[in-house]
Every structure is written in C-alpha cells, then in structure tokens.
Structure 1
C-alpha cells in the first residue's frame, strides 16, 4: 500500500487505514472483492494467500467462505490492526518477493492494490507462480495511477496533479501490465476485466485533497493552484457536480 505523507500531520498509516476502511465499505468495493474471490475459486479446501493484506478484511472474508486464508504484509502497524480485527486469522510479516511458503503449496494468490508498491512486479508474479500448485490461480486487482478521471474547471492543472501523484508511486502503471506480467511469469488462461469505480459525492474530497497536496509538496503546482483546485472540487461536491472515475483492472491466470 502507498504510504506517502498526507500533509495533515496525521500518522500516515492510520490515515491510510481510515481511507481503506471507507473505500472498502462502498458497495462497489464489496462487489469487486467478491469478484476476486470468485475468480480465485475460494472455498472449503482451498489454501489461498492475500498479499499486502493491510487491515485484513479480505483474509476475514476468505476465511468466512471456508478457505484456508493467510494474509501477509510488511507493515507492522497494518498487521497489528489486522490481528486486532481478526484474532484467529493466519497473518504474517513477509515480502511479496520472498513468500513464506514451500513450492507448489497454495491454490490461490490474491494481490489487490499492492503491485504498484513494488519496484519489480514481474519478480512478485514469478514468486506467485512458485508457491501455487498446478491449476492454482493468481488474481490481481488494482488501479492505474495515470488514468484517474477527474472533472474540473482547469483540465491542464488536473492533468498535472494526476501525473504528479502517479510519479510518487513506485510502479504506477503496474495494473495496465497485469496481463503481460501473468504471461511473462508463465501463467496460462489469462483473462482481464475492467471495472470502473465512480465517485460523485463529498466522500471523494479527502482522496482529491491527498492528490493535490502531493502535487503541491512535490513542487508541481503552487499553493495558490492547490487552493483553487480544491475549492473547485468542494464547490462541485456541494452542488452535486463532483465526478471522479477510476478504472480498476482485474486479471486472473492459471499456473500450469
């Protein structure tokens, strides 16, 4: 997960967890998680890993489906929260590049909004293939950081903000490469779906503020431009004219 400073003085991980909780509670996000579980064929007798598990929501839901689910994350605060929320879950501190499983021992691998945080997503997918049994599935989900669509008065400034935010991400275009990453790692029966999350209310304002403050702090826009752009978005939210669309790319591949 991305943990860039929020600019608000709040602990960045606590702020990120709050953002994830709000987003994960949305009906669209709930549906998309369910779709990834379906693609994993998660259920009784299936051993699956959720990499970059964060606060552990997916691990809890996968366990509720009867799967033997393990969550891994490198951030100790994320794992602490996950263990508080899911005390019976199997949660481990581990790196995507070095999974704590023997060769060919898992039926499913799930990476949701996490591959953009690693410098070499291809290596992560090679590691996914290593731990999966023949016939096991890898399911990847994530947003492309260059393709946030934001309605705004100043289109050029908006492009600068989106591009600047994307430049702070380790692998901002990993999601558009999901298919190639799976094929490159030797997966077959690769399929791709695109689902679009649409935000039209004030709940999107904190996300937009993070984008704009990141651009300001990086020197891509001025403080005056920052204030003007956010004022436009607040005015839109107040008159029911705010519009943000985020394409989410979901890919599945089978380990041969």
Structure 2
C-alpha cells in the first residue's frame, strides 16, 4: 500500500511508482472470497437510499462508487491519485470521480448522507483531521463507515512462529498507522460521532491466491532490515511449499466500524 502522503495529498504522477501493480492488487483483493459480502455490509451500514449522496474516500479504481451508483445512490469517488481516477473513469465513465485527499474533500458543508473509507485510515498520520472533514461534509444524522485491516493481526501458520511474528510486526511498522482499525471506535468517539459500532469479519484463506500477500510481508520485513535475506527466502519457500501441499493457512480479520454524525 502507499504511504500517507500518497493517499491524502494530490501530486504529479511519478513514472517509477507502481500504480499498475497497486491496481492489480486491489483488483485481486476485490475478487477474494468474502470481499463482495464485505463491501455489501459497508453499503448496508451506510443506509443510503436511492437519491441520497455518499462520498467514497480513497476510492481507488472506483468499484464501490460504481456499485453504489447501480443502486441509485449519488456516489462521489475521491482519491488523490490521478492515475487511479483515470482507471476508474475508463471502467465506469458515468460515475463521479474527483481528485482530492481525505483531509480536504471537494464537497460543501453538510452535503452528503454517507461517508465511506475502505483501506484508507491505516495510511493517515492524522486520522482526527480526516474525521473532522467527514463531520463537515456529512449532514446531521448521516452515516460514516470505515473498513480496514489491522496490520499487526495476520494469523499465519508456519514452521517458525517466532520468525513469522517478526515478519508481521516489521511489515506493520512500514505502514503509517498499522493499528488504525483497532482504534476505529475510539477515533469515532473522539470525533463526537454517535453510537459507534464495530464488526469483525475474518477471512480464512488456504489457497495460493494469498501467496503474493505473504511474499510481500517477508519482502517488507527484509527491506526494513528486520530479517536477513536468507530468513525471508526460507520463510517464503516454506509458504510456497504449504500452498502446493494444500497446507497454507492465513486468517485475516477485517474491521468494519459505523457511526452517526451529530
């Protein structure tokens, strides 16, 4: 995932940055078992009816905006990455996409009925600022929904649990706010949203489709100097062998929080 400045502040494209790779990862995540159900849950928690307005912050390639629009919701997708928005517009040209970050939304005060942010808050250094902006654009009684993972909460079976813990924690430390998801409720309370609730939906994966994520964990930890090249390669080889033998196991909890604007 990109760092906080990538997802909150628009800037000129940089040719060397792997936007295509990120889009591919997001597309793959959207196709994982349970992903469609998780998105549907977030829409239900928004409670947006046809004709109501919703902003999807950090919309990426635009799938959620298009799905909400298909239900008659006036959805606006906001993302700081112009190349992401170009992909979104190419895929769903009828939808409304605008280039901006989470701290300064291009919306009037009290102009939307719902605010949704999926896999965004772990990239924000100042979540309180994003939530203040959410309160600004939400009408009284509007709904906010946050979706994301806790980067310290990967449950992975391996032959070396100690090394696995090191890999997970080292990769988490490369993220701006790796434990933002476990803070959703308290962040919403601090921002004076009413009646925050949190659900956890855990995906259990036993197939090779999660190998790229596991490889990314090990490579991130290696790049941070937390493990040696040999340790990372050995761990990756072990996970590949598990996948080939139908012995891979990864459990990944996803946190979904919802609250009401005062």
TM-score interval (norm. to shorter): over 0.9
> Which residue number corresponds to residue 58 of structure 2?
52
What residue ranges of structure 1 are gaps of 5+ in the alignment? Answer: 5-9
Q: TM-score, normalised by structure 1?
A: 0.95
**CA distance 1:27–1:202, shift in 2 (3 Å):** closer
Length-normalised TM-score, structure 2: 0.93
Write the distance in 2 (CA, Å) between the matches of 1:32 and 1:42: 16
Query: Do 1:3 and 1:16's aligned partners in 2 also have CA atoms closer than 8 Å?
Result: no
- Counterpart CA distance in 2 for 1:206 and 1:3 is 19
Count of residue pairs brought into register by the alignment: 251
C-alpha spacing 1:11/1:238, structure 2 compared with 1 (3 Å): farther
Residues 3 and 175, structure 2, Cα contact 8 Å, conserved in 1:
no
Q: How far apart in 2 are the matches of 1:213 and 1:76? A: 28
Q: How do 1:100-249 and structure 2 match up within 5 A? A: 100-249=106-255
- What's the secondary structure of 2:54's corresponding residue? strand
Deviations 1:137-180 (A, max 9, x none): 00001000011111111111111110111001001111001001
Q: CA deviation at 1:13?
A: 1.7
Identify which of 22, 25, 29 aligns with 2:31: 25
Secondary structure of the 2:66 match is helix
Shift of 1:126: 1.2
Give the structure 2 partner of residue 7 of structure 1: none
Q: Which runs of 5+ in 2 are unaligned?
A: 5-15
Q: 1:40-86: CA deviations, max 9, x gaps?
A: 01231210000000000000000011100000001111111111111
